[in-house]
Structure 1
Amino acid sequence: MAQNDLPSVDLTSIDGKTIVLKDATNKDGITIISLWATWCVPCLKELDAINDIYDEWQEETNVELLAVSVDDSRTVKRVKSMVNGKGWDYTVLLDTNNDLKRALNASSIPLTILVKDNKIVYKHSGYSPGAELELYEKIKEFSK
């Protein structure tokens, strides 16, 4: 797959700070960027599944996950309480205007991207149980 530069997009953290996406990515390894929404059941299943094994992933590969919510202004207020309720350890960012979603030509979510040195090295759309294991194989492959 051709490597594309990660789009330069400003997102908002759940505590209201503006974050430049490129500054939020992992400088020494792989960043998973997961586009999700509070109303997207497969998104939640994927992030829950990764959360169960995220500590091991981080220990082995130093990977970091940015969970980017594409909830719009009507549903974005649910993001913080959902994240807290699920106990996710991820950095959660908000793409309320769908700038990142548009820049990535994401037609559907969940969309999972692996980024290394601000280049998109892998993209996967949709989720089925077990897909997180395949994702981890890719992470190990790219973190060598």
Structure 2
Amino acid sequence: MKKIAFLIFMAVAFALQASAQLPSVELKDINGKTVRTDQLSNDGKPFIISFFATWCKPCNRELSAISEVYDEWREETGVKVIAVSIDQAQNINKVKPLVDNNGWEYDVLLDPNGDFKRALGIQMIPYVLIVDGKGNIVYKHNGYTEGGEAELIEKVRELVK
């Protein structure tokens, strides 16, 4: 009986861990509006959260690569990208020019104290999450290699089938 109870407990714990919800952290968007991270959504469709910094070359390459196919992704799947800058307060004024110069059409949030990053246990950037239409984190990946964005859209396509 104890074995069955333990197995049930482990199955429930694994299920909860496999589809974690976003933590509640208050951030500002690039225009200064306050946003609660546990309320991020995309009208029932999946969304991607990409953690980056202005000084992180792999982050910028990843966001630029996604930008090149972003219109097609949105048309096909309805996915939205939310880019979260972890630049510290003294560099926060570099974020908007970087976004504008690259023509990134993402929602951009600022996490200068690393509260959201820390709440998710993120150690290194670039770091990408895919959140399903119900708000569950269903995929995590850190680092970037050229072409890595193809894996992201495949995961999103699986969610919208």
Same fold per TM (> 0.5)? yes
- TM-score (normalizing by structure 2): 0.86
- 1:138 aligned partner: 155
* C-alpha distance in structure 2 between counterparts of 1:15 and 1:136, whole Å: 28
CA deviation digits over 1:16-40, x for unaligned, max 9? 1111123332122101000000000
Q: How does 1:1-144 map to 2 (within 5 A)?
A: 2-116=18-132, 117-144=134-161
- Give 1:126's aligned amino acid: G
Structure 1 segments of 4+ aligned residues over 4 angstroms from their partners: none
The structure whose residues are more often strand, as a share, is 1
- TM-score (normalizing by structure 1): 0.96
- Give 2:146's aligned amino acid: P
Identity %: 49
- Give 2:56's aligned amino acid: C
Contact kept? 2:51, 2:85, Cα under 8 Å: yes
Structure number, greater radius of gyration: 2
Gap regions ≥5 residues in structure 1: none
* C-alpha distance in structure 2 between counterparts of 1:25 and 1:42, whole Å: 26
* C-alpha distance in structure 2 between counterparts of 1:47 and 1:14, whole Å: 16
* C-alpha distance in structure 2 between counterparts of 1:139 and 1:67, whole Å: 16
**Count of residues paired in the alignment:** 144
CA deviation digits over 1:78-98, x for unaligned, max 9? 001111111100001101111
* C-alpha distance in structure 2 between counterparts of 1:70 and 1:107, whole Å: 11
Gap regions ≥5 residues in structure 2: 1-16
* C-alpha distance in structure 1 between counterparts of 2:19 and 2:43, whole Å: 17
The structure whose residues are more often helix, as a share, is 2
